[in-house]
Amino acid sequence: MVGQNGIMLAVNIISSHFGILVSKVCECLLRKGSLTIQNIVRFTELTPQQVKHSVLVLIQHNCVQAFSFRSDEDDQGGVPKGTHYVVIFENILHRLRFAKFSSIVSEQLDKESEELLEGLLQHGRLTLEQIILRALSKRNEGDCAIQDVLREKISKLVSEHFVERCPPSEPSVRLQDGDNSTRKRGTKSASFVRTKTLEQKVITAAVSLKRFDFTMNTGADVISEANALRKPANVTVGEKRKVEALEMDDGTIDEKDILWRANFEEFICHLKQKACIASVRSRLDDEVGVTLNAVLDATRGPEKKVKVENSVPLSLDAIFEEVIKSEEGRCMTKERVDLALSQMGCHPTTIGTKASYSVDVKNIIEIARKEEVESLISKRYGKDACRMFKLLWKNGELMETDKALYFFPISDTAFVNKNEALKSLSNLGNDGYLQMEKPVSQGAQSQFLLWKVNKSSLGEHVFDEMCHAALNLRLRLAYELEQEHEILQLPKHKRIGAEGKRYERIRDVNILLESSLMKLDEALMLFHDY
Amino acid sequence: MGRQPNISYQKRKRTDSELTDTERKLYDVVRSKEDMGIWTGEMKKETRLQDPEFTKILDSLVKLKKIKKFVNIKYNKRKYFIAAEFEPSKELSGGVWYTEEGKLDTDLIHGLKVLCKKLIVRENVATSESLTEFINKSGVVNVKCSKEQITEILRCLVLDNEIVEVKSSEIGVFGKISGGTPSYRCSNKEGDPKVGAMASFPCGACLRINECTPNGVISPMTCVYYTKWLDF
């Protein structure tokens, strides 16, 4: 579920990247759920042309997916016929992470592949021809050999799942009760929960089997072909689909019609692995980090999913073999790898005569989330409040404030003054970090209060607050840059004296706010994407 | 008959049965509350006695050691009394970790935490039994500690990331500890947890974040905490 602050952050991102009109349409879709063009026009009070163009921009940048409802009955129960549009919230937030995605490709492949990916990130979706032409425009050379090298690089990006084919332009989704958010809309947040489910359905329906299908067609010269007559622009949707269906008949892909885009899911997988390793490194030690990296590298199969709970069971020998592939792992012995696994709470399971190890990835993520929340609570409410929060998280059940009638008292276990305990717990409860219950006995409410950490609602609350904080960082940065607009425009030789100091200050402010936003974005992914 | 000479007047200690009716009335009220005690306002209400008579009777019962005063940690400004044969419940007195003044004994807690941590560092691994025995024998602390008290201190150290709780495997450093016994050893990365992403800038510490809006009275553009943070 995405809260109000999540929506505001997404709207701010779209507004700064594509302007106010597109952000209006985006906000309308975020708040109302899936809508037809007519309904967007009605809610935004923009002209149909403005809405159409804004939706096209959002589709081009993979922030909106078109779909149609498929119903077994002829009567669609009041659902407007035609194309509906649903906003993909995650893809909007991914726009904050483009630099991270590029650096992954740079690390895993090379600088040229990174440049090719940057083209896709910048333009949203491109045909193979467009990708190659864009890359060639940055070079002075453009012969067939270079084009083949570029095709090979794109092929590698696709085989590594960094790039995928764009989903079908309008997949159909089976209509079920509650899907029609325009028909039965409750509160804003409730409508968003329904839309979210629909959003997932649309994404699933849009996944193509040919997602990573790339058969190279070497030798074609895109420059000469681009200069030749192009296909008429007014090809109907039906005709275009037929072309897509026939394109593989000759074993090669159509470079002008098939659109490609960055596969965000793959990048999130990589970032999740990095986050897990960073978490165990800081909590345990470097050798545990090396071992986990080896286990996760060995786990990565053809089906790469972000929400993996456990690594694939591997023998100690297989893990060790993977560990020694890295420079850091080469100085480790098998015994130390075994110890590192046990430090992660990973103990062998014996099936037959073979013992295998499977790392609990979900637990590593949960610990990382807990550390982030603990740090926040310690800073905002103090160490005693943090200790009580840790106790409640660890206990996982309801606990009493200070009495021990039926439950274990929090204040005694956490060594917090009983009066202070109630005050701190109430603050944490009011701010959404704890859940409070007043037990009812024999029809009357009891005097004592019970507290617990509700991990799922806490995660949503923290994510929403982080979205608020991210929005604040972006707004402050924009404000600071606007205030010093003139100073930033000054040529280098004029940046002296007071102007020079102001220039240095705004440069430092920019660095600090940007780096804080990047760090916060990692925490956003921790709570929303992993 | 005249007064008998040479018989000096001696103050005789009154016994339970010799309490006056009003004293008995007040004493019974206090005694009926057992270990929960009662505060003076409630006593007056239940006995319908008024000052100054109430104060006089209360003083008299205290002098007779029939009742005693104690501090209720929740209402430390009220005067609470309890019958002499009872001890105030843990809920009211705060238990072993509270002083007679009704304050958390932070010195004792801190002292025991430091001591336990030092002993665990020295021994590599320890149990609550071994630590209790050592602390009581050494006489470092001037009160006798129970195993339960030391376990509570150890639990607090675990919450502070100073130590970790592990089950004895009877191998290596656990050689002398029977298998499965809860034991404690130092954590790899002790001390304060790393500063999280959110806690490293003003919004993470701000208690007014819920009132902060882009164009509101509290906004990121006018936020004083941000201004202070960005003051290079």
- In this structure, the answer to whether residues A495 and A355 fall within a common structural domain is no
CB spacing of B214 vs A505 below 8 angstroms: no
Which of residues A359, A389, A404 is at a domain's end? Answer: A359
Q: Which residue has the tokens 């991102």?
A: A13
State residue A194's pLDDT score: 44
| Cα–Cα distance measured from residue A320 to residue A337, given in angstroms and rounded to the nearest whole number | 7
> Residue A444's beta-bridge partner residues?
A441
Are A301 and A350 in a shared domain?
yes
Report yes or no: A169 at the B interface, CB cutoff 8 Å. Answer: no
Check residue A188 and give its pLDDT: 40
* pLDDT above 70: residue A189: no
| Whole-angstrom distance, CA of residue A321 vs CA of residue A495 | 56
Whether residue A231 lies inside any domain: the answer is no
Q: With 70 as the cut, is the pLDDT of residue A446 above it? A: no
Compute the distance between CA of residue A192 and CA of residue A275 in angstroms, rounded to an integer.
29
Statement to judge: residues A202 and A338 lie in one domain: no
Report yes or no on A369 lying in a domain.
no
Q: What is the C-alpha separation between B74 and B97, in angstroms, rounded?
A: 15
Same domain, A24 and A48: yes
Q: Is residue A408 part of a domain?
A: yes
pLDDT at A250 over 60: no
A371 domain-assigned: no
Contacts of A512 in chain B (CB under 8 A): 229-230
Helix axes B21-32, B40-47, angle to 10 degrees: 120
Residues from chain B that touch A520, judged by Cβ atoms under 8 A, are 197-198, 201
| Angstroms from A111 CA to nearest CA on chain B | 29
Write the CB contacts of B70 (distance below 8 Å, at least 6 apart in sequence): B37, B80, B81, B82, B88, B92, B93, B100
B203·A523 Cβ contact <8 A = no
Measured CA to CA, the distance from residue A66 to residue A172 in angstroms comes to: 9
| Nearest-10 Cα torsion for A21, A22, A27, A30 | 160
Domain range for A21 is 4-94+173-206
Between CA A257 and CA B215 the distance in angstroms is 46
Query: What is the mean pLDDT of each successive set of 10 residues along chain B, which is 232 residues long?
Result: 49 66 88 89 85 87 87 83 87 80 86 92 89 88 86 90 82 76 79 80 93 94 95 86
pLDDT of amino acid A375: 92
What three-state secondary structure class fits B70? strand
A468 neighbourhood in chain B, CB within 8 Å = 203, 209, 212
Shared-domain flag, residues A182 and A72 = yes
Q: Is the pLDDT of residue A73 over 60?
A: no
In sequence order, which residues have a C-beta less than 8 Å from that of residue A313 and are 6 or more positions away?
A349, A351, A356, A357, A358
Q: Beta strands of A365-405 (E only): which ranges? A: 399-400
Q: Are both B17-93 and B106-186 of the same fold?
A: yes
CB contact under 8 A, A414 and B159: yes
At A126, list the tokens.
């491109």
Residue A438 lies in a domain: yes
- Residue in chain B closest to A394 (alpha carbons) equals B159
Q: Which of residues 28-67 of B touch A (CB under 8 A)?
A: none
Residue A184: what pLDDT?
A: 38
Q: Is B225 on the interface with A (CB under 8 A)?
A: no
Indicate the number of domains in chain A.
Answer: 5
Nearest to A292 by CA among A340, A328, A331: A340
Asked whether B204 and A380 are in contact (CB, 8 A), the reply is yes
B111 and B138 in contact (C-beta within 8 Å)? no
Rg over CA atoms, chain A:
27
Average pLDDT, chain A: 83
A373 domain residue, yes or no:
no
The alpha-helical segments, DSSP class H, found in A66-219 are: 89-93, 98-108, 111-123, 128-137, 144-159, 188-206
Question: Are residues A307 and A217 both part of a single domain?
Answer: no
Give me the pLDDT at residue A1, please. Answer: 62
From A326, A359, A392, give the residue that closes a domain. A359
pLDDT of residue A220: 56
Contact at CB, A479 and B91, closer than 8 angstroms: no
Peptide bond into B52 cis (omega under 30): yes
More confident call, A229 vs A409: A409
Q: Which fold has domain B106-186?
A: Arc Repressor Mutant, subunit A (1.10.10)
The verdict on A323 and A308 lying in the same domain is yes
DSSP string, A296-324: HHHH--SS--S---BPPPB-HHHHHHHHT
Could you tell me if B57 and B22 are in contact, meaning their C-beta atoms sit under 8 angstroms apart?
A: yes
Does A375 contact B188 at a Cβ distance shorter than 8 Å?
Answer: no
A292 in Cβ contact with A276 (< 8 Å): yes
CATH class of B17-93: mainly alpha
DSSP 8-state assignment for residue A166: P
Q: Where are the domains of chain B?
A: 17-93, 106-186, 199-229
Q: Which residues, at least 6 apart from B137, have a Cβ–Cβ distance to it below 8 Å?
A: none
Non-local CB neighbours of B200 within 8 Å, separated by 6+ positions? A516, A519
Do both A259 and A400 map to the same domain? no
Phi, psi of A440 (to 5 degrees): -105, 120
Only one residue has tokens 């936003």, namely A517
Residue A165: which residues within 8 A CB-CB, separation 6 or more?
A208, A210, A211, A212, A213, A258, A259, A260, A261
Contacts of A508 in chain B (CB under 8 A): 232
Q: What percent of chain A has pLDDT over 70?
A: 81
Measured torsion, CA atoms of residues B67, B71, B76, B82, in degrees rounded to the nearest 10: -30
Closest partner residue to B204 (CB to CB) among A284, A380, A431 is A380
Which secondary structure element, helix H or strand E, spans residue A464, and what is its range?
A: helix A455-483
- Mark whether A67 and A189 lie in a shared domain: yes
Determine the Cα–Cα distance for residues A222 and A147; give it in Å rounded to an integer.
8
- Same domain, yes or no, for A41 and A187? yes
Rounded Cα gap, residues A524 and A464, in angstroms: 9
B211 token code pair: 């009132």
On chain A, the residues whose CB falls within 8 A of the CB of B220 are 471-473, 475-476, 479
The per-residue pLDDT for range A21-51, each reduced to its tens digit, is 999 999 999 999 999 999 999 999 999 999 9
Contact A378 B156 (CB under 8 A): no
Q: Does residue A233 lie within any of the structural domains? A: no
Judgement on whether residues A197 and A332 belong to the same structural domain of the protein: no
Characterize the bridge pairing of strands A354-356 and A172-174.
unpaired
The string of pLDDT tens digits covering residues A460-519 is 999 999 999 999 999 999 999 999 999 999 898 888 888 899 999 999 999 999 999 999
Is A142 among the domain residues?
Answer: yes
Amino acid at B160: D
Sequence-separated (6 or more) residues with CB below 8 Å from residue A198: A33, A34, A86, A173, A179, A181
Contact assessment for residue A2 and residue A88, using Cβ atoms and an 8 Å cutoff:
no
Q: Which residues pair with A86 in a beta bridge?
A: A65
- What residues in A contact B74, CB-CB < 8 Å? 418-419
Other Cβ atoms within 10 Å of B18 Cβ, number: 11
- Cα distances from A329 to residues A288, A291, A320, A333, B206, in angstroms, run 10, 8, 9, 9, 42
Pair (A153, A20) in one structural domain: no
